[in-house]
Structure 1
Amino acid sequence: MRIALVSPYSWTYPGGVTRHIEALSDQFIARGHDVTVLAPYDPDDALSPRLHRGARPQARPLPAHLVSLGRSAGFSANGAQSNVALTPYAAATARRELTLGGYDVVHLHEPVVPMACWDTLGGACGVPLVGTFHTYSENSVTHGAAALVGARRRMNRLAVRIAVSEAAAWTGRRFYGGRYRVIPNGVEVGETPTRAPRAPGEPLRIAFVGQAVERKGLPVLLRAFEALRDHVPAELVIVGAGPEDVTAMLEEPAGITALGKVDDERKLAVLRDADVLCAPSLGGESFGMVLTEAFAAGTPVIASDIAGYRDVVRDGADGLLVPRGDATALAEQLRDLALDPAHESRLGAEAARSAERFAWPHVADEVFGAYEDAIAAPRPETASERLAMRFGRRSGDGLPVERARRLPSLEPPIAGRPRPAVAFARRAAIGLAAVAGVGLSWLALQRIGIDRIVEALWRSSPAWVLSGLALMCLSMVFRAVAWRAILRAALPGTRVRLRDSLRGTAIGVLMSATLPARLGEPSRALVVARRIGRPRQVLPTVVGTIVSQTLLNVLALIVLGFVMFSTVGLFAGHQGALIAFASLPVVILLAVIAAPALLRKGAPSRSRRVAQAAAQARRALTRVRAGLLVFRDPRLGSEATVMQLGAWALQWLSCYLLLVALGLDMRAGLGAAAAVLFAVNVTAAVPLTPSNLGVFQAACVAVLTAGYGVGSADALAFGIILQAVEIATAFIMGAPALVGEGLSWKDVRVRALHTAPVELRPMRGDSRAKLKA
């Protein structure tokens, strides 16, 4: 049989699909079939790294049976990088080869991906088409866009549709319709590996294979491993991510070896030497070829309980499944396996037997059967049938067209994250608020007049603006001094330098200014914990110290509130509400101090989840209370209070200087500056956009126009300048701090999302006995 295998992905930047096509072609060639592979091919020259974000292609010779579709370029898709040829040359070359090549069947891999596969679906080659779907995705935006340009109609020209897993078939049925036969990815299976049982007391050797992207779950595994090694001897070898990728996500590197990108032989050697492969992906996996490679090496798997992995791993037989994103459950499962070498051996033996299910000869037989069915599928005979096939109104398998339909998600919620419906509602609300903000801003600009705003900005004094910027930067130094005093009180015996707290403060401010989420606080806690040593032990206490600063911030806001209310008279006759407002931080402080005792004295719940949640809350509040110890030390408490309130005073003065810069100080003096600072900090409690852009200016306009009679154009100009000064402060202070810390913005963001420490449940008596032995 003459077979054409068409791939949209680069041959020299191989991923799972390319490896699949390569192995499948080798199987058919060995059986005497005439096989041609059509795929992009990137030479190792100066241009290729520029098209692929700095990555060089692998040195792979051009096979005699491969037709090059030209260069590819790297794009982010489904949480990873796809190296796809999007040029007209790729489509034209594939069309010419498939039209003139005399093929019996054309096998398209990822049919919806442009350009070659997409163009071939147009039906110009007149050859039976088979399509394999390798991807699991719930992204309705990209698939919806594909459907809008005719993907569903084009897919109907496929005589046979293959999916590598039920998860990939779900994606096809959900977005494109049709009927799918599940044929898994194959794996090379040699002689049954013999593995000597791990002796008690030997470290558990864990392997991870994957890129340092969040979707692969590497941050989750690192958090779990940092907790695991405190309980049992363990080693972690990482393939696919190098030391530079891993270091930024680690608190302590002990026991971890990051090999970076390696060849297939080295990867398989790591799998053979490992006691367990850990695959903690968060989603987006259609199959997981590395799982079957581990099976072929006789290595059991601990993987996330996600759709693509459930098709491969039989929980409790050849591997173990844990809730995705749950670092605690992962660490506990690894600990249990480390303490039970016999269980580990049983899982490994069954994993080796499971590999036979995915052996390439079996997979190739099933794919060849699909080819035969495609060739035997009834062809359109009449002109109307040919026209219906041409426009995708007739299915290529001769059966009625099966339309796309809504299907429930296959994925459980990620541990610690809201359910998809809740997350969608939250994103929708934020999106609507952002759209409303943009709309209102546009209306405000139209009503106020852009020319008036530009004129107000043009009149501002650069000297006063720079003075305000200098005071804003100095206020960050004051905040760092205050935090250092709090840290010294909470961590007696630990050396805390001013540059440690200053660097953490600067990076935290930068993260808060560039992200619409409250990641500034965990970011600065992470940086300081790394700098003062023993990050795993001190991080919870460092996080707790932020509460002390928060209480001082609330006190500063109360002072600003008193100034604001006294200058505009809004609270006249409402003194009771003002007293309640002033007592709020005292109530918060008493709740933090008393909560651990109340949680401990309460009646134990019969629900394990409730009991665990109460215990975690009690531990967290105990740590938070440790951060309040500064107020028991008169010297350090006074230093923290004076410097933190001094920082607010500098910001207050900075706001006033910006009013002076615009010539507004005669109408809006220190009281107005206090009111603006109060308003923008209160609205920042629920950030909708990075730096609360738009909301920030609205708060300034509302305060200055309603309370102090400032014109709307001048008020908006002031809001623009004030936010520009705050963002400039964030970058002036934060960018050098990031460089000095050896971190990138992405490193800090990923690590800040995974700062919560992992605490394992106490071991049972038999587990403690095994560990002792």
Structure 2
Amino acid sequence: MTESPQGVVPGRRLRIGIVCPYSFEAPGGVQFHVRDLAEALIAQGHEVGVLVAADDDTELAPYMTSAGGAIPLRYNGSVARMTFGPVAAAKVRRWLVQGDFDILHLHEPVTPSLSMLALWIATGPIVATFHTSMPRSRALQVAYPFVRPGLEKIDARIAVSEDARRTSTEHLGGDAVVIPNGVYVEPFANAQPDPRWTGTPERPTIAFLGRLDEPRKGLPVLTSAIPAVLEKIPGARFLVAGRGDQGKADAIAALGEHASAVEFLGGISDEEKAALLSSVDAYVAPQTGGESFGIVLVEAMSAGTCVVASDLGAFRRVLEEGEAGVLFRNGDGAHLAEVLVGVLRDPERRKKVVAVASEAVQRYDWSVVTREVLTVYEMVLAASEATVRVTEDPRSRRAGRLTREVGS
């Protein structure tokens, strides 16, 4: 049993349980955030367990525990893979009991996922992080009466951006402290360019990373801009990384005779991503909505690449209203082409933008973000009125219900 006394001593070793709502079979931004946070906490000497959804053949880190495979569900304009139901709930209970955590950190706890199950089952010190940004949601409004009892168990809320904070506040009430997504800045800053992807003044290279089958990631906006860019800069090369056979086929069909200017790289590793971003002359982020932060923008900024992005609110804030990157009108392929040509033809402008971005990204380094998350943990634990222990409540009709009882 691990005791959590009043007046938590900053820097003490904690047992931290983190629950990821989405499957690691096809990881995305939230999964990478959970992974990197866990590893940053472990590097500081804390003991961390992470509960995830994953098939048996999915390779997981030693600190991760699988609660089983996931099913695809449409959510926030995308397709998310989640695990839910009584079998998953039993695995959540078992993981919580075995983990004997000082504090539980749930990500996206109001989506039907492992995080929601953990919120229902556990009580005690709970922190929740909200990642999603969306307009008013009828589904969340209808669901609110059902999730409210769980929300009342949360001791502190974190939002990864002002947009995510606003979404959480408007849909669920309460408030949250903004702690952004983290990036390991140094590996991107030190990545070596790959000659295959390095551009020249006559043949500049432009990168895009994202799921090709999701229209909101903006690949159709980019493909609509490519012919106009090639008209001004015939040697331009577009490097598209990401999975999605249908999205790739649609892009090739839309490009027609211009398809030869685009190289589809498929899925790439973290090391390849860093090399790609450090090699190209510009990174394009043409997302059309549903973005609460924009982690790949920070990665590109860390790699010393000029970012050209749609003027979504989340992107404007990361790019400091156009000082740390260049903005174009959301969904406007013609304007993207105009802005991109201007950026590619002006190396001095790119240099100035990159210089500002290199300073701005320090705010997002995991060394800073982890310190802020630990401060939230310490505040929550310090507010506890007594030591706690994990036990099974025999009075519960649900066998194995996890409770925390005040006691010594």
TM-score tier (shorter): 0.7 to 0.9
Separation (CA, whole Å) in 1 of partners of 2:377 and 2:110: 19
Separation (CA, whole Å) in 2 of partners of 1:314 and 1:204: 25
1:324-379 alpha-carbon deviations (Å, 9 max, x no partner)? 01112111111111221111122123222222111111111111111111112355
Q: How does 1:22-101 map to 2 (within 5 A)?
A: 22-44=35-57, 60=59, 62-101=60-99
Look up the match of 1:288: 294
Separation (CA, whole Å) in 2 of partners of 1:190 and 1:100: 35
Look up the match of 2:325: 319
Q: Secondary structure at the match of 2:326?
A: strand
Instruction: Tell me whether 224-233 or 236-245 shows the greater mean CA deviation.
Output: 236-245
Aligned residues: 363
Separation (CA, whole Å) in 2 of partners of 1:111 and 1:155: 8
Question: Is the CA contact (8 Å cut-off) linking 1:17 and 1:134 kept in structure 2?
Answer: yes
Question: Is the CA contact (8 Å cut-off) linking 1:99 and 1:126 kept in structure 2?
Answer: no
Counterpart AA for 1:208: F
Look up the match of 1:403: none
Deviation at 1:322, TM superposition (A): 1.4
Q: Secondary structure at the match of 2:127?
A: strand
Task: Write 1 or 2 for the structure with the bigger share of helix.
Answer: 1
Q: Secondary structure at the match of 2:352?
A: helix
Separation (CA, whole Å) in 2 of partners of 1:164 and 1:170: 11
1:99-123 alpha-carbon deviations (Å, 9 max, x no partner)? 453211000001112232212223x
Deviation at 1:139, TM superposition (A): 4.6
Question: Is the CA contact (8 Å cut-off) linking 1:200 and 1:339 kept in structure 2?
Answer: no
Task: Write 1 or 2 for the structure with the bigger share of strand.
Answer: 2
Question: 1:166 and 2:168 equivalent?
Answer: no
Question: Is the CA contact (8 Å cut-off) linking 1:206 and 1:275 kept in structure 2?
Answer: yes
Look up the match of 1:105: 103
Look up the match of 1:640: none
Shift >4 Å, 4+ stretches: 191-196
Question: Is the CA contact (8 Å cut-off) linking 1:207 and 1:236 kept in structure 2?
Answer: yes
Separation (CA, whole Å) in 1 of partners of 2:329 and 2:220: 15
Look up the match of 2:255: 250
Q: How does 1:560-575 map to 2 (within 5 A)?
A: none
Separation (CA, whole Å) in 2 of partners of 1:354 and 1:203: 29
Greater Cα radius of gyration, structure 1 or 2: 1
Look up the match of 1:457: none
Instruction: Tell me whether 70-79 or 128-137 shows the greater mean CA deviation.
Output: 70-79
1:129-176 alpha-carbon deviations (Å, 9 max, x no partner)? 00000111115122123214x223321221110000001001101100
For residue 277 of structure 2, the aligned residue among 271, 294, 310 is 271
Q: Secondary structure at the match of 1:202?
A: coil
Separation (CA, whole Å) in 1 of partners of 2:191 and 2:43: 28
Evaluate the alpha carbon distance shift between residue 245 and residue 91 of structure 1 in structure 2; reply closer, same or farther with a 3 A threshold: farther
Q: Secondary structure at the match of 1:121?
A: helix
Look up the match of 2:122: 125
Deviation at 1:76, TM superposition (A): 2.2
Separation (CA, whole Å) in 1 of partners of 2:25 and 2:98: 26
Separation (CA, whole Å) in 1 of partners of 2:199 and 2:280: 14
Report the TM-score, using the length of structure 1 for normalisation.
0.45
Q: Which 5+ residue runs of structure 2 have no aligned equivalent?
A: 1-13, 387-408
1:474-495 alpha-carbon deviations (Å, 9 max, x no partner)? xxxxxxxxxxxxxxxxxxxxxx
Deviation at 1:200, TM superposition (A): 7.9
Evaluate the alpha carbon distance shift between residue 24 and residue 194 of structure 1 in structure 2; reply closer, same or farther with a 3 A threshold: closer
Q: Secondary structure at the match of 1:278?
A: strand
Separation (CA, whole Å) in 2 of partners of 1:87 and 1:155: 19
Q: How does 1:362-381 map to 2 (within 5 A)?
A: 362-377=368-383, 379=385
Question: 1:10 and 2:11 equivalent?
Answer: no
Separation (CA, whole Å) in 2 of partners of 1:103 and 1:251: 56
Counterpart AA for 2:350: E
Separation (CA, whole Å) in 2 of partners of 1:305 and 1:182: 21
Question: Is the CA contact (8 Å cut-off) linking 1:128 and 1:375 kept in structure 2?
Answer: yes
Question: Is the CA contact (8 Å cut-off) linking 1:207 and 1:271 kept in structure 2?
Answer: yes
1:677-721 alpha-carbon deviations (Å, 9 max, x no partner)? xxxxxxxxxxxxxxxxxxxxxxxxxxxxxxxxxxxxxxxxxxxxx
Counterpart AA for 1:248: A
Deviation at 1:245, TM superposition (A): 4.8
1:10-50 alpha-carbon deviations (Å, 9 max, x no partner)? 12321111111111111111111111001112134xxxxxx
Question: Is the CA contact (8 Å cut-off) linking 2:23 and 2:82 kept in structure 1?
Answer: yes
Q: Secondary structure at the match of 1:43?
A: coil
Separation (CA, whole Å) in 1 of partners of 2:385 and 2:253: 58
Counterpart AA for 1:220: V
For residue 237 of structure 2, the aligned residue among 199, 213, 235 is 235
Counterpart AA for 2:219: L
Q: Secondary structure at the match of 2:327?
A: strand
Q: Secondary structure at the match of 2:181?
A: coil
Separation (CA, whole Å) in 1 of partners of 2:62 and 2:92: 16
Look up the match of 2:336: 330
Separation (CA, whole Å) in 2 of partners of 1:91 and 1:312: 37
Deviation at 1:315, TM superposition (A): 3.3
Evaluate the alpha carbon distance shift between residue 162 and residue 216 of structure 1 in structure 2; reply closer, same or farther with a 3 A threshold: same
Q: Which 5+ residue runs of structure 1 have no aligned equivalent?
A: 45-58, 381-773
Q: What RMSD in Å do the two structures reach over aligned CA positions? A: 2.3
Counterpart AA for 1:237: L
Separation (CA, whole Å) in 2 of partners of 1:71 and 1:335: 45
Separation (CA, whole Å) in 2 of partners of 1:194 and 1:98: 39
Evaluate the alpha carbon distance shift between residue 92 and residue 224 of structure 1 in structure 2; reply closer, same or farther with a 3 A threshold: same
Look up the match of 1:226: 227
Evaluate the alpha carbon distance shift between residue 134 and residue 199 of structure 1 in structure 2; reply closer, same or farther with a 3 A threshold: closer
Look up the match of 2:34: 21
Instruction: Tell me whether 239-248 or 366-375 shows the greater mean CA deviation.
Output: 239-248
Question: Is the CA contact (8 Å cut-off) linking 2:82 and 2:114 kept in structure 1?
Answer: no
Q: Secondary structure at the match of 1:311?
A: helix
Higher relative contact order (CA 8 A, sep 6+): 2
